[in-house]
C-alpha cells in the first residue's frame, strides 16, 4: 500500500472510531460543577434531551392569532389543551442536532482554554472595562459574567471528556426558566445565570467581551503579542460565542439574557464579518424576530404579571437599541427596515416621571423630555439613538411616497420634531464646541460626538429628500454635510482620546462620513469654477477629505484584509482621484460646459437609485464622472 493510501485508511479508521464514540458522548450523565469538586468521569446514561417539550415554543401571540379567538370562547379549556394525551414523539429523534451543537461547543471550549489561559482572558476583559468601554446592552452583566468564569472552571479533570461535562452542565442550566417576581431585584435576577447557575448565555456574554476587547486593545502580553495570536483569540472567542448562542436558541427557551446575548453577538459580527456582511444582516434580523417572539414590541410597563422596574428598563433598552440598529443598518445598506413604529409601542429607557412632565401637551415633546439628572451612560445613548431613528423612519416613509402629496408639510413636521428633541436634550449632551475643547473623560467625549452625528444625520436625510437628483445638492445640504464630515474627521484625529460609547469609529466613518463626503464631492463637481477658486473657497473641506484619504492609506483606520476595508477604500480611492484633479493647475473641476448640455442630464441618471444608498455603486458611479476620468488613478504613496 502506498504512503498516501495508508494515510487515507488511518483517517477513515479515525473517523469510524469517532462515530462509534458519538453515542457515548451524547449520553452524558449530568455532572455538578462546584469550586470544591473535580469533574467526575463521564458515565453512560439514557439519551440526553436538552429540550423537554417536543412541541415548539410559540412565544408571544398577538390579537390576530387563533389563540386570541379561542381564548374568547373558553380560555381555561384552551390553555389546558397543551396537556395532550396524544402519543408524544420519541425525544431521541428530536435532539440529535442539539447534542451535536453541544459537542461542537464543548470542543471549541476545550480548544480555547487549552490555547489561552482563562485567568489571562478574565484579566484582559477587566482591563478593557477599566478603560471605560463596555457592551451597550449587556453592560449590567459583563463584569459579573467575567468574574464568574474563574469560579466555573476552578478545577479540571484529567479525563478526556471534561469539556463535555461542562458543556452539558451549561446546557442544563440554560434550560431552566428565569423566574421573575415583582420583588425581584437585579442581583436576584443575575443569580439565576451566575455561579452554579452559569449558562451558555453567560459564557456567550463573556466571550463577546473578549472579542470586543481584542478589537480595542492591540497588545496584551499575557494573551497575545502578535497580530496572528490576537486574530486567533478573536476567532476562537467569536466561534464559541456563536455556538453558545446557537445552543441556547436550540433549547427553544426565550428569555431576556438570551436576547441580550443575541444582540451583542450581532454587534461582534459587524466587527468580524463587516457592516455589509450578510451574516451581520441576518443576525440583526434574528434579533428582531426574538424581540417580537418575546412580545417586547408591546408596552412592557403593562406586562402581566407586573415586572420590576430594572427589568422594564432592560426590555425598553433592548427594544430601543434593536429599533435604532434596524433603521441605521437599513439606511446604510439601502434596504427596507424590519421594525416599524406602526406595529410597535415606541418605548425608550430613562423616561422622566409623569410628575416632571407637568402640562406638556405635545406628544412628541413629552416623548423627548429627559430626566434632569440623566448621567452619561450607555442607556442615555440608546435613548437618543432611538429618538433619532424614529425621525429617520418618518423620512424613509417620506422618500417612499412617490406621489409626494403634502410633501412640504410632512417634511416641515419632521424638521419641527428634530428641533424639539434637540432642544429637549439636556445641554450637557449637546456638543457646542470642538471635541478637543470638551471637558470630561473619553467616554463622554465619544458620546457627545455620537449624539451630534445622529442629529446631523436626521437633518442630512431630510435635506436629501428634497433633492430630485443626488447630483444637485443645495447650500443647506452642503452645510450639514460639512458639519458631519468635520466631526468625523475630528473623531479620527482624537481617536486615542475616545472610548466606545455605542458606535465604533469605522461605523462613524462609513455611516456618516462617507455620505457627507459624497455629497460634498458632487457639489464641487457641479460648480463651474477653476480649481484655484475651489481651493480658496473650500480649503477646510479639502483638508478634511485629504485627512480621510491619508488615514486610510497608512492603515490607521482599516487595513487590507479587514472586513470593512473594501467599503472604506473604494470611497477613498474616488476621493483621492478628486483631490488629485484639484491639485492639477488649470484643470476644470466642474462638469462639462453648457455647450454640451447632454452630459449633465446623463450624469443625473447615475443617481436615480435609492437616495439613502451610499454603497459601493454610488462611489463607482462618482468615479466615472467626466472630471475625474482624465486624472491619475492614484496619488503618490504617502
> In the structure, what pLDDT confidence band is assigned to residue 618 with cuts at 50, 70 and 90?
low
Which of the residue ranges 5-14, 78-87, 492-501 would you say has the lowest mean pLDDT?
78-87
Predicted pLDDT of residue 602: 42
Query: Can you state the percent helix, strand and coil of the chain, rounding each to 5?
Result: 65, 0, 35
The pLDDT tens digits of the residues spanning 116-174 come to 999 999 999 999 999 999 999 999 999 999 999 987 776 555 567 888 989 999 999 99
Q: What phi, psi does 44 have (nearest 5°)?
A: -75, 150
Does residue 71 carry a pLDDT above 90? no
Residues near 237 by Cβ (< 8 Å), separated by ≥ 6?
112, 121, 207, 208, 210, 211, 214
* pLDDT score of 60: 66
- State pLDDT tens for residues 562-577: 999 988 998 899 999 8
82's CB contacts (< 8 A; 6+ apart) are 55
Put simply, whether the predicted model's pTM sits higher than 0.85 gets the answer no
Report the mean per-residue pLDDT for the chain: 81
Interhelix angle 96-115/3-26, rounded to 10 degrees, is 110
pLDDT score at 524 = 84
Q: What pLDDT, on a 0 to 100 scale, did the predictor assign at position 582?
A: 79
What local confidence, expressed as pLDDT, does residue 424 receive?
A: 96
What span, in angstroms and rounded, lies between the C-alpha atoms of 317 and 311?
Answer: 10
Q: What is the pLDDT of residues 592-605, one digit of tens each?
A: 444 344 444 444 54
pLDDT of residue 466: 82
In 210-322, DSSP assigns E strands to none
The answer to whether residue 619 scores a pLDDT higher than 90 is: no
Q: Residue 400: is its pLDDT beyond 90? A: no
Over 80: is that where the pLDDT of 623 sits? Answer: no
Q: Note the pLDDT of residue 45.
A: 35
Give the tens place of pLDDT for each residue, 439-464: 889 999 999 999 999 999 999 999 98
What is the dihedral sign for C-alpha 103, 273, 285, 137?
positive
User: In the prediction, which pLDDT does 157 show?
Assistant: 54
Checking if the pLDDT of 187 tops 90, the result is yes
- Whether 322 and 290 have beta carbons less than 8 Å apart is answered as no
Structure-model confidence comparison of residues 399 and 319, the more confident one: 319
pLDDT at 79: 44
Q: What is the pLDDT of residues 363-374, one digit of tens each?
A: 888 889 999 899
Write out pLDDT tens, residues 287-310. 999 999 999 999 999 998 999 999
CA distances from 131 to 124, 165, 219 (A): 11, 35, 14
By mean pLDDT, which of 44-58, 392-406, 414-428, 498-512 is the weakest? Answer: 44-58
Half-sphere exposure of 355 (CA within 13 A, CB side): 0
Position 6 scores a pLDDT of: 52
Q: Is the pLDDT of residue 632 over 80?
A: no
Of the candidates 522, 584, 578, 523, which has an alpha carbon nearest to the alpha carbon of residue 549?
A: 578
In this structure, what is the dihedral angle of CA atoms 102, 106, 112, 113, given to the nearest 10 degrees?
140
Hey, what's the cell of 497?
Answer: 482620546
Mean pLDDT of 99-117: 91
Largest Cα span, the chain: 91
Q: What is the pLDDT of residue 529?
A: 54
3-class secondary structure per residue, 554-620: CCCCCCCCCCCHHHHHHHHHHHHHHHHHHCCCCCECCCCCCCCCHHHHHHHHCCCCCCCCCCHHHHH
Residue of 366 and 360 predicted with greater confidence: 366
Q: Looking at 35-44, 82-91, 94-103, 218-227, which range is the least confident one?
A: 35-44
Q: What is the mean pLDDT of residues 318-328?
A: 98
Q: How does pLDDT run across 216-268, given as a tens digit for each residue?
A: 999 999 999 999 999 999 999 999 999 999 999 999 999 999 999 999 999 99
| Three-state SS at 224 | strand
Amino acid at each position: 500500500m502506498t504512503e498516501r493510501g495508508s494515510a487515507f485508511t488511518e483517517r477513515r479508521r479515525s473517523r469510524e472510531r469517532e462515530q462509534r464514540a458519538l453515542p457515548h458522548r451524547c449520553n452524558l450523565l449530568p455532572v455538578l460543577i462546584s469550586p470544591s469538586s473535580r469533574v467526575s468521569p463521564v458515565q453512560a446514561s439514557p439519551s440526553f434531551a436538552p429540550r423537554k417539550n417536543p412541541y415548539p415554543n410559540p412565544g408571544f401571540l398577538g390579537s390576530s392569532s387563533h389563540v386570541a379567538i379561542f381564548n374568547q370562547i373558553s380560555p381555561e379549556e384552551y390553555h389546558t389543551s397543551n396537556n395532550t394525551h396524544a402519543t408524544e414523539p420519541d425525544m431521541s429523534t428530536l435532539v440529535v442536532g442539539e447534542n451535536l451543537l453541544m459537542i461542537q461547543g464543548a470542543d471549541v471550549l476545550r480548544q480555547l482554554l487549552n490555547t489561552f489561559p482563562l485567568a489571562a482572558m478574565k484579566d484582559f476583559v477587566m482591563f478593557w472595562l477599566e478603560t471605560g468601554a463596555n457592551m451597550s446592552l449587556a453592560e449590567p452583566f459583563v463584569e459579573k459574567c467575567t468574574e464568574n468564569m474563574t469560579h466555573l472552571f476552578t478545577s479540571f479533570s484529567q479525563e478526556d471528556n471534561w469539556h463535555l461535562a461542562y458543556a452539558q452542565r451549561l446546557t442544563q442550566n440554560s434550560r431552566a426558566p428565569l423566574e421573575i417576581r415583582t420583588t425581584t431585584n437585579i442581583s436576584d435576577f443575575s443569580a439565576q445565570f451566575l455561579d452554579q447557575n452559569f449558562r451558555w448565555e453567560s459564557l456567550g456574554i463573556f466571550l463577546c467581551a473578549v472579542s470586543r476587547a481584542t478589537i480595542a486593545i492591540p497588545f496584551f502580553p499575557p494573551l497575545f503579542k502578535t497580530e496572528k495570536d490576537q486574530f486567533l483569540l478573536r476567532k476562537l472567542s467569536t466561534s464559541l460565542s456563536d455556538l453558545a448562542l446557537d445552543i441556547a436558541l436550540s433549547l427553544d427557551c426565550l428569555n431576556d439574557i438570551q436576547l441580550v446575548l443575541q444582540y451583542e453577538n450581532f454587534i461582534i459580527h459587524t466587527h468580524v464579518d463587516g457592516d455589509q456582511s450578510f451574516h451581520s444582516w441576518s443576525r440583526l434580523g434574528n434579533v428582531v424576530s426574538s424581540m417580537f417572539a418575546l412580545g417586547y414590541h408591546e408596552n412592557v410597563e403593562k406586562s402581566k404579571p407586573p415586572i420590576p422596574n430594572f427589568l422594564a428598563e432592560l426590555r425598553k433598552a433592548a427594544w430601543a437599541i434593536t429599533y435604532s440598529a434596524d433603521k441605521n443598518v437599513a439606511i446604510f445598506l439601502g434596504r427596507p427596515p424590519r421594525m416599524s413604529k406602526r406595529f410597535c409601542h415606541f418605548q425608550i429607557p430613562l423616561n422622566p416621571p409623569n410628575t416632571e412632565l407637568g402640562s406638556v401637551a405635545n406628544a412628541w415633546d413629552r416623548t423627548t423630555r429627559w430626566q434632569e439628572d440623566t448621567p452619561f451612560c450607555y442607556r442615555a445613548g440608546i435613548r437618543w439613538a432611538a429618538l433619532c431613528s424614529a425621525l429617520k423612519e418618518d423620512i424613509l416613509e417620506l422618500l417612499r411616497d412617490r406621489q409626494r402629496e403634502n410633501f412640504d408639510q410632512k417634511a416641515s413636521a419632521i424638521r419641527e420634531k428634530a428641533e424639539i428633541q434637540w432642544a429637549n436634550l439636556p445641554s450637557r449632551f449637546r456638543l457646542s464646541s470642538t471635541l478637543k475643547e470638551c471637558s470630561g473623560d473619553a467616554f463622554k467625549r465619544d458620546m457627545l460626538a455620537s449624539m451630534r452625528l445622529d442629529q446631523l444625520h436626521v437633518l442630512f436625510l431630510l435635506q436629501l429628500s428634497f433633492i430630485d437628483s443626488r447630483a444637485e445638492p443645495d447650500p443647506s445640504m452642503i452645510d450639514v454635510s460639512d458639519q458631519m464630515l468635520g466631526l468625523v474627521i475630528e473623531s479620527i484625529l482624537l481617536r486615542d482620546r475616545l472610548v466606545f460609547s455605542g458606535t465604533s469609529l469605522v461605523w462613524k466613518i462609513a455611516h456618516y462620513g462617507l455620505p457627507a463626503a459624497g455629497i460634498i464631492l458632487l457639489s464641487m463637481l457641479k460648480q463651474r469654477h477653476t480649481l484655484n477658486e475651489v481651493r480658496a473657497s473650500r480649503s477646510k473641506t479639502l483638508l478634511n477629505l485629504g485627512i480621510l484619504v491619508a488615514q486610510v492609506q497608512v492603515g490607521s483606520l482599516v487595513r487590507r484584509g479587514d472586513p470593512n476595508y473594501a467599503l472604506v477604500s473604494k470611497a477613498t480611492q474616488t476621493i483621492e482621484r478628486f483631490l488629485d484633479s484639484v491639485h492639477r493647475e488649470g484643470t476644470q473641476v466642474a462638469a462639462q460646459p453648457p455647450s454640451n448640455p447632454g452630459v449633465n442630464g446623463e450624469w443625473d441618471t447615475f443617481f436615480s437609485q435609492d437616495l439613502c444608498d451610499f454603497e459601493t455603486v454610488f462611489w463607482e458611479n462618482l468615479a466615472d464622472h467626466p472630471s475625474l476620468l482624465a486624472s491619475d488613478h492614484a496619488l503618490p504613496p504617502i
